[in-house]
Amino acid sequence: MNSSWFRKLLLSYLPAFFVVVTILFVVFFQTLNEQNRKEAIKANEFLAQQVVLFTDNALKTLDYRILRDILSTEELRTFFNTDLEDVYGNIKANKLVDDWKLNYSIIDTVYFIRLKDEFILGDGSGMKADFLDEPFLELYIRGLAKTGEWTGKRSFQTYPSEKAKDVISIVQGYPHFSSTKKGYIVVNVSLAKLKRTITPMYNPDQTYVRFSDKQGRSLMDDTPSKEGTRSVLSRYVSPYTGWVVESGPSDAGLSRFVLDFYNIWVVIAIAAVLLGVLWVIHVTRRNYKPISQLVSLIRASSLIKPEDDKLGSNEFGFIRGALEHLMEETTKTRQQHKETFILQKKHRFQEAVEGSAPIRETEWQADLLRFNIDPAGAKSFVMALEIDRYQQFVQAYHHQDQSVLKFVLSSVAQEMAGLNGAALWAEWLSDRRLSAIVWVPDEAAGSELSAHIGEQIVEWVRANLSFTVTIGVHGMASSLEEIRSSHEIAGNLLHYKAVLGIGRLLRPEELEASTLRVHDFFGTLHALSQAIRLADNGWRKQLDELFDQINDSISSRKEIESFLQFLHQQLTRVFLELPKDARNIWKDTGAELLELGRTWETVAELQQGCTKLFEAAVAKLQALKDSQRTRAVISDIRTYIEEHYANPELSLDHLSDKFNLQAKNISKLFKEESGGNFVDFLIGLRMDKAKQLLLGTDLSLQEISLQVGYFNYNSFNRAFKNVAGLSPSDYRKQQASR
């Protein structure tokens, strides 16, 4: 085989290899240089922090010494409280200044000004008017500058003949904690001396340090003449003075060259990359022709449509997209064919068993071949499987879980048929019902085999799933028409599972004992509705008789639902004749009865539900009747008490004999109806009558006592005082005086 294409590609991309190696070397040196640069930055940051800390510490210590002496020394107190004649005080103050200068080498000059005589003591002693630093002092005396803060760089001359020095100053007023000042203390720190204390911390030949005040003006700088060309590697702001310290490599030395060479490495890397890009473009253009020819071939073919050109953003993407598109279309076509095949199979099955379309026997046999159904024999039976308590099944499982469980049921039916040598074609024709045609071997006993397969499916579901199924079977059928007939019978069998039971196999033989007596049902329903209306305990007997008739006649679900609907209509009609309270009781019970009619599964469940509903309704009706009877009795008792309150013998025992009720029952009913007990009601009634007699007649107190039912006056007097708060005689006098 000729390898010229291989050598061509090899020679084409060797320059790119050298370019890559060059870039790697550049990256290596650039990384090393960058590491050195980071170390330099880190060192400069540390230097800047240490310089700031050292400077702040020196200035803070000096500031603290000045404040301490202002608050505690006798020399300053003597100076600011005397005048020019106190020579000894001035000498002591000068001694304090000398002590400051001795202990703090960075101090350049110190002087005090006493405001009352404008005398200045210290470097350049004299009167304020002759002092060279008077403009600076005037700012603090007028309150235009704030004391206690370090100034920026300024020039200071003690005498006109001296050369001006660069200093920073701090001014403190005396006394410190008073708004009225007697004078000021000015301390000037030499920037040159401060610079000398910092210089030993670094090498000026390799590193520079620059101080700037808050306004950005330079305070101290190693190389001020080349400020614009220096690299700043670190910048730190003093928290005490607010000064900014910047540091970086000096303009001379190897370190400066190494740091600046970082840019050279970057330029070399960029140049190498550009050369590599240009070479790759050249080689790619030369080797692109075979790919271009392949793309043109795909475009010219019918592999993809012109509108599908968006499958790839480049040639290789276009080729890959074309192949993926081809595979995707193939997969989609297969899936659609599979789904269509399943739908066609289900639709054809439904047409066959329900007779919705005319199908000849030859067509039926062809359909079996087309849908890969291999009958085990010439005869078959039909099996109708239904999920019991389907509403609970829907509530218990998610839609996807329902689909999985239904698939399991169809698979179990298929497997059970296969284990017994039969062939099965099953389809879900409704949400809860699976219909299946089962072909049995010619030598098998079809009736026994159909029962055996059905029982196996029922038992497997009961043992392995959380719900049950009921199956109706019928056959044997040898033609499509017979299969349709068997399917209809098997489906109708499921209508009787409410009576025959759920979770079992149903066969047509079980319906042969049915004795339908329509007149018995409606007579029983009428008697039941009347018994419930009258709240008669005989309703239980009528209800049991109704369900006995349903079980004896093996009624279908539709028949039972029609009986239940008739019972609801009958009860609604008879309760319309009763008072409103009774109608309200039936309104709630009737709604619950309709709800029960939508949810029951077996006759036993329906009977149990009806029993609970009618028990509650009869209890409420009985309570309503008892309440009405109680109100009538209590009304008669109240009337009797109001008419015979003057009878001294009137008591609960007397009322018990009169109304033929127990005394404790009378007391209980009386309290429930009126809210008070019998004795309080009787006493209140007698006292109201006594008040009328006391005010409206001249009868004696003894006579009034007898007329309201008291033989003993003392008992009357005591009862009246308990009610009115005073005796009968006092009550008559009080009312007569008004």
pLDDT in tens, 642-684: 888 888 888 878 877 877 777 777 777 776 666 677 788 888 8
Residue ranges of the alpha helices (H) in 374-470? Answer: 390-396, 399-419, 446-464
d(CA 308, CA 306): 5
Rounded to an integer, the average pLDDT of 544-567 is 83
pLDDT of 297 above 50: yes
Q: What is the DSSP letter of 358?
A: -
| pLDDT confidence band for 98 (50 / 70 / 90) | confident
- Contacts of the segment 165-171: beta carbons below 8 A, 24+ positions apart: 165/108, 165/190, 165/192, 166/190, 166/191, 166/192, 167/108, 167/109, 167/191, 168/194, 168/219, 169/136, 170/59, 170/62, 170/63, 170/66, 171/140, 171/145, 171/147
Q: Work out the angle at residue 511's Cα, subtended by the Cα atoms of residues 505 and 517, and round it to the nearest 5 degrees.
A: 140
Rounded to an integer, the average pLDDT of 92-108 is 87
Q: What is the DSSP letter of 115?
A: T
d(CA 713, CA 719): 10
- What pLDDT is stored for residue 284 in this prediction? 63
165-174 and 433-440: which strand pairing?
unpaired
Please indicate whether residue 284 or residue 254 has the higher confidence score (pLDDT): 284
From the list 73, 116, 71, 114, the residue with the least C-alpha distance to 92 is 73
Distances (CA, A) of 173 to 65, 101, 105, 179, 605: 14, 20, 23, 9, 104
Q: What is the mean pLDDT of the chain?
A: 80
207-212 and 183-190: which strand pairing?
unpaired
Least confident of 252-266, 268-282, 535-549, 660-674: 252-266
Q: Residues 612, 618, 620, 623: is their CA dihedral positive or negative?
A: negative
d(CA 450, CA 383): 8
Q: Residue 582 burial (CB < 10 Å; 0-12/13-18/19+)?
A: buried
Backbone angles phi and psi of 189, in degrees to 5: -100, 130
Q: What is the DSSP letter of 651?
A: S
Show Cβ contacts of residue 521 under 8 Å, excluding neighbours closer than 6 positions. Answer: 546, 549, 550, 563
556 CA to centre of own chain: 50
b/e code 281-302 from CB counts within 10 Å (16+ = b): eebeeeeeeeeeeebeebeeee
Residue ranges of the alpha helices (H) in 125-247? Answer: 134-141, 191-198
- What pLDDT is stored for residue 716 in this prediction? 86
315-354 vs 480-493: helix crossing angle, rounded to 10: 80
Least confident of 164-168, 416-420, 649-653: 649-653
- What pLDDT is stored for residue 626 in this prediction? 64
Token pair belonging to 725: 């708060």
d(CA 537, CA 445): 54
- What pLDDT is stored for residue 314 in this prediction? 60
3-state secondary structure of 303: coil
- Percent of the chain at pLDDT exceeding 90: 11
d(CA 200, CA 207): 12
684 CA to centre of own chain: 65
From the list 591, 527, 521, the residue with the least C-alpha distance to 560 is 521
- What pLDDT is stored for residue 522 in this prediction? 76
Q: Greatest CA separation found in the chain?
A: 154
d(CA 460, CA 495): 23
Cis omega before residue 358 (within 30°)?
A: no
3-state secondary structure of 561: helix
3-state secondary structure of 189: strand
Rounded to an integer, the average pLDDT of 723-738 is 82
250 neighbors 205 (Cβ within 8 angstroms)? yes
Token pair belonging to 300: 């010219």
Please indicate whether residue 53 or residue 219 has the higher confidence score (pLDDT): 53
| pLDDT confidence band for 397 (50 / 70 / 90) | very high
Rounded to an integer, the average pLDDT of 141-170 is 86
Token pair belonging to 377: 């024999």
- What pLDDT is stored for residue 458 in this prediction? 93
The number of beta carbons lying within 10 Å of the beta carbon of residue 663 is 15
Least confident of 144-158, 430-444, 501-515, 694-708: 501-515
d(CA 661, CA 39): 112
Please indicate whether residue 429 or residue 313 has the higher confidence score (pLDDT): 429
603-643 vs 678-696: helix crossing angle, rounded to 10: 30
d(CA 593, CA 615): 12
238 neighbors 214 (Cβ within 8 angstroms)? no
Please indicate whether residue 406 or residue 629 has the higher confidence score (pLDDT): 406
d(CA 319, CA 315): 6
Among 22-26, 159-163, 400-404, 663-667, which range has the highest average pLDDT?
400-404
d(CA 160, CA 645): 132
d(CA 663, CA 691): 30
- What pLDDT is stored for residue 691 in this prediction? 86
- What pLDDT is stored for residue 461 in this prediction? 94
Please indicate whether residue 512 or residue 485 has the higher confidence score (pLDDT): 485
Please indicate whether residue 4 or residue 446 has the higher confidence score (pLDDT): 446
Least confident of 17-21, 436-440, 475-479: 17-21
pLDDT of 514 above 80: no
Backbone angles phi and psi of 435, in degrees to 5: -105, 140
pLDDT 10s digits, 269-283: 677 767 766 776 666
Q: Tokens 């030369």 sit at which residue?
A: 286
| pLDDT confidence band for 3 (50 / 70 / 90) | very low
- What pLDDT is stored for residue 722 in this prediction? 85
- What pLDDT is stored for residue 383 in this prediction? 93
Rounded to an integer, the average pLDDT of 55-70 is 87
Q: What is the DSSP letter of 508?
A: G
254-287 vs 4-72: helix crossing angle, rounded to 10: 150
Least confident of 229-233, 367-371, 426-430: 229-233
Token pair belonging to 24: 């790697």
Rounded to an integer, the average pLDDT of 300-328 is 63
pLDDT 10s digits, 453-492: 999 999 999 999 999 999 999 988 888 888 989 898 888 8
The one-letter amino acid at 471: I
- What pLDDT is stored for residue 519 in this prediction? 47
| pLDDT confidence band for 308 (50 / 70 / 90) | low
pLDDT of 427 above 90: yes
Please indicate whether residue 294 or residue 705 has the higher confidence score (pLDDT): 705
Show Cβ contacts of residue 660 under 8 Å, excluding neighbours closer than 6 positions. Answer: none
218 CA to centre of own chain: 60
432 neighbors 471 (Cβ within 8 angstroms)? no
| pLDDT confidence band for 398 (50 / 70 / 90) | very high
d(CA 229, CA 324): 61
Please indicate whether residue 79 or residue 426 has the higher confidence score (pLDDT): 426
Backbone angles phi and psi of 122, in degrees to 5: 135, -145
Q: Residue 314 burial (CB < 10 Å; 0-12/13-18/19+)?
A: exposed
Token pair belonging to 54: 């050292």
241 neighbors 150 (Cβ within 8 angstroms)? yes
The number of beta carbons lying within 10 Å of the beta carbon of residue 335 is 10
Q: Residue 411 burial (CB < 10 Å; 0-12/13-18/19+)?
A: exposed
Please indicate whether residue 346 or residue 536 has the higher confidence score (pLDDT): 346
250 neighbors 223 (Cβ within 8 angstroms)? yes
- What pLDDT is stored for residue 695 in this prediction? 86
State the pTM of this model.
Answer: 0.44
- What pLDDT is stored for residue 1 in this prediction? 39
Rounded to an integer, the average pLDDT of 412-425 is 92
The one-letter amino acid at 503: G
What is the CB-side half-sphere exposure of residue 172 using CA atoms within 13 A? 19
- What pLDDT is stored for residue 115 in this prediction? 85
Least confident of 70-79, 80-89, 108-117: 80-89
d(CA 422, CA 438): 7
From the list 607, 602, 349, the residue with the least C-alpha distance to 470 is 602
Please indicate whether residue 515 or residue 321 has the higher confidence score (pLDDT): 321
